[in-house]
């Protein structure tokens, strides 16, 4: 049962009314910054968190964000509200900074009752960009659907919120502060996280690799991972100064789109494709939970990255002898399943969104997990973790002493290759997005047995997930179309956008070890792409002639 506190009658109470648009998505409440700037908007949602999470009163709360525009002001408001709600101890990252994985690590380390993370992840920031807030529970992971729903329901009935009139402490300097009855510790956002990384990876081996002429570039995209990457890669591991590019967190991410993919990390990609360019490249997103892995002239798809990490787990100190299984989101390629099969480990297929991994990780059913959308992680925290993935790869490279491209070739020669690409149609009118999906759903029963462009459809369904841990069911998680030779198309609508609809089309084709392993991906998938466009009729229904982003 959720306990709802009754409005205090003292001077800390501010009357307010519900906002009807505070329905959190899979990654918390994410809206245009301007919406968050409305009076009482943030406060109402935070009040709903305190009303539905009674353990926060008298407990420890972790607080931080990705440094985007309004981060600082929002942190100050939440500090004052936490004090008004009787939080005993508040752990806040200095400058108001905490990457999402670091927040998760800190919640776990200090056994906090939860954490509030301010971020709109990879979405652009600034007054015209996006802002977001999410609540993570005591396991360090995103709130469950039930908790999220309870917060939403409560946000619709708010009559006011409690806030201390006193100002919050300055966040620039680390130290101990008192606000009302709440002790506020402003902590170094990096050190707890860096310690955790050091406990998982062979830092000595990586240091030797980096001192031997191996060159890396990490693109922090002017977002939160700059300070983390500098501390870990340059200071602790000895990468050359300047290996971290765009390392200064900026409130608008320098006007960029802090999403580590081939489109948005163009400068890094160009560097890696230059003659004599670096041996290894990587990037992370706004809040530090995503990663992109590159070698010289080589792009590792996130799906392949998970598979390679699993295949090498026995060589990584933090994972040796303890991998229980792997999980991937449904649209992620099946590359990791092939490794799991070879290793005799269970492989789970979950809906898109990190929270489905949490149950499996908590229950010890899986140790590694990942998504095609540049998200990889393990049981060390309950979020995906960008820099962790980078260090994992550096650990592999330090032991293998082979270029990234050769590691990939060797992997495909052993397991075969899952050619993979995602085509996004962004900014469609919402009704068109819904119509495309409905049309696909209506067609489902007639698809098996059909031949399209020389490919035979074997099965087609709308993915439905029964959680093996809590037995909850999540239906309508995306349309899957499987073909006879192992090709697969998945269609789903994005759940994280802040305006309109984004149609995502995920395409993959399997090539066995004996096949052609070095084709151009878009060429190899050309026929399947045509079939996908025919099936969903995106051109006819939306008048779009090409995807907005191809990754």
By annotation, the residues acting in catalysis are 121
In the complex, residue closest to ligand G1P by CB: 494
Tokens of 322: 């303890």
Pairing of strands 160-162, 175-179: unpaired
Complete edge-to-edge strand list for the sheet that includes strand 29-32: 29-32, 130-136, 114-118, 60-65, 89-97, 182-187, 175-179
Other Cβ atoms within 10 Å of 530 Cβ, number: 13
Per CB under 6 A, contacts with ligand G1P among 101-160 are: 121
Distance, in Å, from the CA atom of 133 to the CA atom of 42, rounded to the nearest integer, reads 8
Q: Which stretch binds ligand G1P (CB under 6 A): 137-145, 392-400, 488-496, 522-530?
A: 488-496
Site string for ligand G1P, 493-532 (x = CB under 6 A): -xxx-------x----------------------------
Binding residues for ligand G1P restricted to 8-67, rule: CB under 6 A: 26-27
Q: 304-323: string of b/e by CB count within 10 Å (b at 16+)?
A: bbbbbbbbbbeebebbeeeb
Interacting residues with ligand G1P between 176 and 235 (CB under 6 A): none
Considering the complex, state which of residue 184 and residue 197 has its C-beta at the smaller distance from Zn ion.
197
Contacting ligand G1P (CB under 6 A), which of 71, 123, 182, 352?
Answer: 352
Sign of the CA dihedral running 424, 425, 429, 430: negative
User: C-alpha distances in angstroms, 474 versus 53, 464, 465, 545?
Assistant: 24, 6, 5, 33
Asked whether position 405 contacts ligand G1P by CB under 6 A, the answer is no
Residue 371 binds which of ligand G1P, Zn ion, none (CB < 5-8 A, kind-dependent): ligand G1P
373 lies in the site for ligand G1P, by CB under 6 A: yes
Q: How many helices (H) and strands (E) does the chain have?
A: 18, 27
For the CA atoms of 420, 425, 426, 430, what is the dihedral angle to 10 degrees?
-130
205 in Cβ contact with 395 (< 8 Å)? yes
Residue 28 contact partner, candidates ligand G1P, Zn ion, none, CB within 5 to 8 A by sort of partner: none
**Among candidates 59, 60, 52, 232, which has minimal Cα distance to 144?**
52
CB atoms within 10 A of CB 444: 15
Q: Distance (Å, rounded) from C-alpha 523 to C-alpha 36?
A: 44
From 205-213, 302-310, 349-357, 543-551, span contacting ligand G1P (CB under 6 A): 349-357
Q: Residue 354 interacts with ligand G1P (CB under 6 A)?
A: yes
Span near ligand G1P by CB under 6 A; candidates 123-131, 299-307, 445-453, 489-497: 489-497
| Identity of the residue, 281 or 353, whose beta carbon is nearer to ligand G1P in the bound complex | 353
287 binds, options Zn ion, ligand G1P, none, Cβ within 5 to 8 A by partner type: Zn ion
Q: Which does 304 bind (CB under 5 to 8 A by kind): ligand G1P, Zn ion, none?
A: none
Task: Pick one of Zn ion, ligand G1P, none as the site partner of residue 385 (Cβ within 5 to 8 A by kind).
Answer: none
117/525 with CB nearer Zn ion: 117
Binds 354, which of Zn ion, ligand G1P, none (CB < 5 to 8 A, cut-off by type)? ligand G1P
Applying CB under 6 A, among 304, 371, 379, 533 the residue interacting with ligand G1P is 371
Comparing CA positions, the residue from 50, 248, 269 lying closest to residue 161 is 50
What's the token pair of residue 348?
A: 């789970």
Residues near Zn ion, by CB under 5 A? 121, 285, 287, 289
Please give the DSSP secondary-structure letter assigned to residue 236: I
- The two tokens of residue 332 are 């992620």
SS3 452: strand
Q: Which is nearer to ligand G1P, 318 or 375 (CB)?
A: 375
Work out what residue 260 binds among Zn ion, ligand G1P, none; the CB cut-off runs from 5 to 8 Å by kind: none
Say if strands 175-179 and 130-136 run parallel, antiparallel, or are unpaired: unpaired
Q: Between 448 and 495, whose beta carbon lies closer to ligand G1P?
A: 495
> Closest separation between CB of residue 174 and ligand G1P, Å?
30
C-beta of 202 vs 285, nearer to ligand G1P = 285
Report how many residues bind ligand G1P under the rule CB under 6 A.
14
CA distance 100 to 114: 13
Spatial CA neighbour of 393 closest among 263, 319, 294: 294
- Residues at the contact surface with ligand G1P, assessed by CB under 6 A: 26-27, 121, 329, 352-354, 371, 373, 375, 494-496, 504
């Amino acid at each position: 049962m959720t306990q709802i506190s009754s409005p205090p009658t003292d001077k800390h109470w501010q009357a307010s009314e519900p906002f009807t648009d505070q329905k959190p998505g899979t990654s918390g409440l994410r809206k245009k910054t301007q919406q968050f700037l409305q009076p009482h908007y943030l406060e109402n949602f935070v009040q709903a968190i305190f009303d539905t999470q009674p353990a926060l009163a008298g407990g420890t709360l972790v607080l931080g964000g990705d440094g985007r525009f309004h981060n600082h002001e929002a942190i100050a408001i939440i500090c004052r509200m936490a004090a008004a709600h009787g939080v005993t101890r508040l752990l806040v990252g200095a400058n108001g900074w905490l990457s999402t994985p670091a927040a998760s690590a800190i919640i776990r380390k200090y056994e906090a009752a939860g954490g509030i993370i301010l971020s709109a992840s990879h979405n652009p920031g600034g007054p015209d960009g996006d802002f977001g807030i999410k609540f993570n529970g005591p396991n360090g992971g995103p709130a469950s659907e039930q908790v999220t729903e309870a917060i939403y329901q409560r946000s619709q009935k708010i009559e006011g919120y409690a806030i201390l009139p006193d100002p919050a402490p300055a966040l620039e300097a680390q130290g101990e502060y008192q606000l009302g009855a709440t002790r506020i510790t402003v902590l170094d956002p990096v050190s707890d996280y860096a310690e955790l990384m050091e406990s998982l990876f062979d830092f000595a081996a990586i240091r030797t690799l980096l001192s031997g002429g191996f060159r890396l570039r990490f693109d922090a995209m002017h977002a939160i991972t700059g300070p983390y990457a500098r501390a870990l890669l340059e200071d602790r591991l000895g990468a050359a100064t300047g290996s971290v590019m765009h390392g200064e967190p900026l409130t608008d991410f320098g006007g960029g789109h802090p999403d580590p993919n081939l489109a948005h990390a163009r400068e890094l990609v160009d560097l890696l494709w230059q003659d004599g360019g670096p041996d290894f490249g990587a990037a992370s997103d706004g809040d530090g939970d995503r990663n992109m892995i590159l070698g010289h002239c080589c792009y590792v798809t996130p799906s392949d990255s998970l598979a390679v990490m699993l295949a090498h787990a026995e060589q990584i100190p933090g994972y040796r002898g303890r991998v229980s299984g792997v999980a991937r989101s449904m649209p992620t390629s099946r590359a990791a399943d092939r490794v799991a099969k070879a290793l005799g480990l269970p492989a789970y297929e979950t809906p898109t969104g990190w929270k489905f991994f949490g149950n499996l990780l908590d229950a010890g059913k899986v140790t590694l997990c990942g998504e095609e959308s540049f998200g990889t992680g393990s049981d060390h925290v309950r979020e995906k973790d960008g820099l962790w993935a980078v260090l994992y790869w550096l650990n592999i490279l330090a032991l293998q002493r082979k270029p990234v491209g050769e590691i990939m070739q060797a992997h495909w020669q052993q397991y075969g290759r899952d050619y993979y690409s995602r085509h996004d149609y962004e900014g469609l009118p919402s009704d068109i997005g819904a119509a495309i999906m409905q049309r696909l759903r209506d067609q489902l029963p007639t698809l098996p047995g059909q031949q399209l462009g020389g490919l035979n459809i074997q099965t087609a369904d709308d993915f439905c997930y029964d959680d093996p841990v809590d037995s909850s069911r999540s239906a309508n998680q995306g349309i899957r179309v499987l073909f006879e030779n192992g090709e697969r198309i998945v269609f789903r609508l994005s759940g994280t956008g802040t305006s309109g609809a984004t149609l995502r089309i995920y395409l993959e084709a399997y090539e066995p070890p004996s096949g052609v392993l070095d084709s151009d991906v878009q060429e190899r998938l050309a026929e399947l792409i045509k079939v996908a466009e025919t099936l969903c009729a995106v051109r006819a229904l939306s008048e779009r002639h090409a995807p907005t982003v191809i990754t």
